[in-house]
Amino acid sequence: MQTFTDKVAAITGAGSGMGRSLALELARRGAHLALSDIDESSVANTATACRALGVRVTAQRLDVADRDAVFAWARETATAHGKVNLVFNNAGVSLSVPVATLREDDFTWLMNINFWGVVHGTQAFLPYLMTSGEGHIVNTSSLFGIIAMPTQSAYNASKFAVRGFTEALRMELDLARAPVSCTCVHPGGVATNIVQTSRIDDSISTLTGVDAQTHRRRANKLIDVTSADAAARQILAGVERNARRVLVGADARRVDKLARLLGASYQAMVVWFYRRSAMARKPSSNERDAAARSTATK
């Protein structure tokens, strides 16, 4: 897609983070927008900011896990805007919990948003993208759709699934010589609020040695690598060159190279790192003895 001017783009998770940045960047480039988010007030704020840039914007609350609602949104978008050229299946949530204590309802909640939300958005909008004569689907996976991490089994499952789904879709579109293409996006650490809204189970301490609050605090520090605005620009550059895959951020590019170099051996490296970190957090025998003596004298 050479230009976004006068194109119509539908974006899920547009109330904050990369979704909001994508909406604003597309508006600056002259694209009209259909925005959605589970948080009605946040998507309304994004819509107001985009309208100020002179483009036509529709916005609504949407739960991407609700298949019927997503299909209705696609129909309403096509009716309101006359066409749809792009869909960004961007909405996502996170969950940190060991497999042994992973509850089925939490797993279902995450998969319904991260994976089925992508499937719903793709299937709902694909007919309209075909009709437009020039369409593009952008599905958000993750760095954790390239490598797996302890306590991230559910999140990994959803993001690996998005990757497989999108790569298969891209080949189908190529085989059909369709006027639609697609891109799978793998963000590394991007400054968004996904960690703040994530579900973190206290049982992670059995593997990581830290409680949920400490885990959240450390995760916040790790993800603040690439700004959401920079991520949006990288994603749109990928759409312009019809990239099959977009690695967002230097950290994503480094980890991708490492995974390809090491293959499955990267898993042993991750385990070594976690064990080393856990040992570093444990007090030495001298420290334990000093603490015991201090307690005894009180």
Please tell me the distance from the alpha carbon of residue 98 to that of residue 209, in angstroms, as a whole number. Answer: 13
Amino acid of residue 121? G
Please tell me the distance from the alpha carbon of residue 11 to that of residue 185, in angstroms, as a whole number. Answer: 14
What is the widest separation between alpha-carbon atoms in the chain?
A: 80
8 Å CB contact between 7 and 25? no
Q: What DSSP element (H or E) covers 255?
A: helix 250-262
Active site residue 128: no
Q: How many C-beta atoms lie closer than 10 Å to residue 268's C-beta?
A: 10
Residue of 128, 155, 266, 274 marked catalytic: 155
- CB contact burial 215-243 (16+ within 10 A = b; e otherwise): beeebeeebebbebbbbbebbbebbeeeb
Closest CA to 239 of 36, 9, 84: 9
Token code pair at residue 241: 């060159």
Catalytic residues: 155
